[in-house]
Amino acid sequence: MKFSVSSSDLLKQLQIVQGAIASNPVLPILEDFLFRIENNKLQIVATDLETSIITSIDVNSSENGNVAIPAKILLETLKQLPQQPITFNIDKENFGIEITSSFGKYKLVGENGADFPNPPEADATDDISMPVQSLTEGISKTLFATSNDDLRPAMTGVYFQIDFNKITFVATDAHKLVKYTFSEEIKSEVMSNFIVPKKALNLLKNVLPSGEEVKVQFNKANAFFSAGDVYMVCRLIDSRYPDYNAVIPTDNPNVLSVNRGDFQSSLKRIAIYANKTTNQVILNIDEKSLTISAQDLDFSNEATEQMPCNYEGNPITIGFNAKFLVEMLGVLEGDEIKIELSSPTRAGILLPEDANDGEEILMLVMPVMLSN
């Protein structure tokens, strides 16, 4: 089996799929890329059995066939080659691979492509379509709030809630929660929900081609994402998602409005002086000013800053984890944000002052109990 391809075009496609290869795979063949050639089209597959990414590229080929090629050595070779046509010659008897470039020849040993695990088929699926931009936006705005606690598997992924032409993305780790709803250009005839693992979403947002429409199909076990030449399959988290609406406080009489950038910068400075275990900063809020302070009693460090704000409600003193607030403010957009509060022991709600058309975002952060 023999085929020719541009070295840089091939490298680009391999870099799209390589994220699916695990660092310590359970089977040796999972360290390979599967190359499958059919009618001058090369399909490249990489998988860790949980997540598979498939992409394709045009090649000049004399015949159809498949082979598994060691990923690491192939990637390193292509990275060192300037753009040029390269030829692969594969011995179907022993899966020896010879790559020819204008500089010389490189030989390596592959494996039988027939032994490579096949990704799941999209059987009995529901499906929805949306712009790639909307999906990547939903992932980017929620992924940081997922949990790393394997004892609560549902919270280690992002919850997709589909309600016909509206989709809600939810992520929480019990300390913070993000709920992002999008309702523009969604094509769907289903009401359903599923949980996608964090690793798959991290890969997905980096490999989807911008400007395309993405088709999302899903059944009880897997989700299938396809856009342009990129196709990804991932196993869903089989677990019940907590009732997130129950933890969002609805009666919040105290409302703080503040400049997002200034507040974030102030928190970053003050956090330097906070206790490194709790990252606790204290917000002292009254009618005209917001005082942000932190102290680390172990090292006698403390810092205080004051900034202007608009505030409606009773004066309040409340503690938060600065790291969580800084993260959330980095994801929110717009110049001004609102923080809704009820008491020092109940969650605060962060909202943008002006949301874009067709989207809503709400962030919840649990307070850190005041030590004094």
Domains in the chain, CATH or no CATH each: 2-115 (3.10.150.10), 126-245 (3.10.150.10), 248-365 (3.10.150.10)
> What global pTM score does this model have?
0.91
* pLDDT value of position 261: 96
pLDDT at 73 over 70: yes
Residue 129 half-sphere exposure toward CB, CA atoms < 13 A:
7
In what side-by-side order are the strands of the sheet with 60-61? 60-61, 2-6, 85-90, 96-100, 105-109
Q: Which of 196, 195, 166, 192 lies closest to 180 in space, CA to CA?
A: 166
pLDDT digits over 109-140, tens only?
A: 999 999 999 999 989 899 999 999 999 999 99
pLDDT digits over 329-350, tens only?
A: 999 999 999 999 999 999 999 9
pLDDT digits over 304-321, tens only?
A: 999 999 999 999 999 999
| Banded pLDDT at 62 (limits 50, 70, 90) | confident
Q: What is the DSSP string of 2-38?
A: EEEEEHHHHHHHHHHHGGGS-SS-SSGGGGEEEEEEE
* pLDDT value of position 371: 60
pLDDT at 372 over 70: no
